[in-house]
Every structure is written in structure tokens, then in C-alpha cells.
């Protein structure tokens, strides 16, 4: 009887030890996810200018005094996109629809499409964007505009866009979502980047190293 009690006591200690060990691993995993979800660099979440509308595909729209709408990539897109060889702009007179591909970034043999935030007809393109790509990336809401469009359904289109504090808060959520996405898809250590010393992800320009399936998933999730 004494031997049986001793064996049961030892078995109980082993079970408790295994349970505590598993809980410790689960807690460590949760901490890793939170650390990996550190915000993106400030470039990706910089404050939006007043009066600027943002589409869910990370393009922005700004009404011009002439009635036309200026269009470009927001700071999140410019931040994670990184270096671009050139932008492929729509031709003058092209008819565009909200949420459908309008222009593209060409990067190391890759073509990454971005959508129009509004319906309308292209009335001007910014050729200067390709003459000074670094300036466009540094100042996405002024020098980074891609084209102008004569809107055809502006009042209806604006209902699907974000502006002001709502747009800024959404960009911050997108930044957190993106770092979580990279970690959970195990994209960082293998394919597309590096981690910081504190466990966070350095996502600035990370799409330069993306390719294959992870690139296509990123485009579908964040630029459509």
C-alpha cells in the first residue's frame, strides 16, 4: 500500500509538471505574437492631411479646386512597398471604376497593382513621380500623387472611403494587422525580412523581398 501511494504521488508530480510546462509554452507563444505585432515604422502610419479620403486598397483621393480628384498611394502602401523601379500610370482618357486596378508599381520583375478609389476618367498623370521615386515615397500625399480623375459617381464613391480620424485609426489597425500577418504566415524568418532585437518586425520596404505565394496573398489582403 505504501509503495502504491509513493508511485501515485510521483505520477501526480509528473502530471503537474507537464501541465505547467505546457502553460508556460503557451504564454511564451502569446508573448511572441504580441511582440511580433509591433507597429510598423512611422512612415507607414504618418498622419493624414485634412480632406483626404482613403480607400480600403490603400489608395487615397483628394478633391482639387477644379473638381478633379487627385489619386495616390497612402503611407502604409508606400512604406511596405519600398524601392520601386517605376510606376505604370493609366493613359489620359482611361475610364476607371472604384476598387478596380488603375495603376501599378514595377519592382524587380514584379508588377503590383493598385485600385482606383473613385469612378471616372483620367484627366492627368504625374510623370514626375517616376523622375523622383524617392520623393514620392517620402511625401506620398503631395509629391506621390499618381494621376487625376474626373469623377462620375463621387457622392456614392465617397460613402465607401474613410476620412479624418477614422482613416488614421484604420491605418494604424492595418499596420498592426500586417505585422501579425507576417508573423503568422512565417514570412519573416524565411522569405521576406528580419526581426528587431526586441522581437518586433522591421516591415519598412519588406515587399522588396516578397515573391511567390506570400506576395500574392499580401496583394489580395491589403491592396484590393
Domain total of the chain: 1
Quick one: which of 193, 213, 169 has its CA closest to 76?
Answer: 169
Residue 100 falls inside a structural domain: yes
pTM, whole model, 2 decimals? 0.76
Number of H helices, E strands in the chain: 8, 10
Residue 215 falls inside a structural domain: no
Residue 81 falls inside a structural domain: yes
Residue range of the domain that includes 136: 49-162
pLDDT tens per residue, range 205-218: 899 988 899 999 99
Residue 20 falls inside a structural domain: no
CATH code where residue 119 lies: 2.40.50.100
Residue 4, C-alpha cell as written in the block:
502504491
Report the distance separating Cα 189 and Cα 23, nearest Å: 25
Residue 207 falls inside a structural domain: no
At residue 191 the predicted structure's pLDDT band, cuts being 50, 70 and 90, is: very low
Residue 154 falls inside a structural domain: yes
Residue 148 falls inside a structural domain: yes
Q: Is a pLDDT exceeding 80 seen at residue 79?
A: yes
Amino acid at each position: 500500500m505504501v509503495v502504491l501511494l509513493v508511485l501515485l504521488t510521483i505520477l501526480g508530480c509528473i502530471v503537474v509538471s507537464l501541465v505547467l510546462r505546457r502553460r508556460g509554452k503557451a504564454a511564451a507563444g502569446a508573448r511572441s505574437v504580441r511582440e511580433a505585432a509591433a507597429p510598423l515604422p512611422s512612415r507607414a502610419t504618418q498622419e493624414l492631411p485634412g480632406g483626404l479620403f482613403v480607400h480600403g486598397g490603400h489608395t487615397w483621393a483628394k478633391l482639387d479646386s477644379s473638381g478633379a480628384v487627385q489619386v495616390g498611394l497612402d503611407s502604409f502602401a508606400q512604406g511596405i512597398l519600398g524601392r520601386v523601379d517605376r510606376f505604370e500610370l493609366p493613359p489620359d482618357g482611361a475610364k476607371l471604376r472604384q476598387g478596380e486596378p488603375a495603376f501599378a508599381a514595377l519592382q524587380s520583375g514584379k508588377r503590383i497593382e493598385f485600385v482606383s478609389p473613385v469612378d471616372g476618367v483620367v484627366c492627368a498623370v504625374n510623370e514626375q513621380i517616376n523622375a523622383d521615386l524617392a520623393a514620392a515615397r517620402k511625401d506620398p500625399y503631395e509629391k506621390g500623387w499618381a494621376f487625376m480623375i474626373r469623377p462620375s459617381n463621387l457622392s456614392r464613391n465617397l460613402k465607401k472611403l474613410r476620412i479624418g480620424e477614422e482613416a488614421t485609426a484604420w491605418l494604424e489597425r492595418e499596420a498592426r494587422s500586417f505585422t501579425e500577418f507576417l508573423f503568422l504566415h512565417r514570412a519573416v524568418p524565411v522569405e521576406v525580412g528580419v526581426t528587431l532585437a526586441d522581437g518586433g518586425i522591421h516591415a519598412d520596404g519588406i515587399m522588396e523581398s516578397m515573391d511567390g505565394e506570400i506576395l500574392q496573398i499580401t496583394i489580395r489582403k491589403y491592396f484590393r
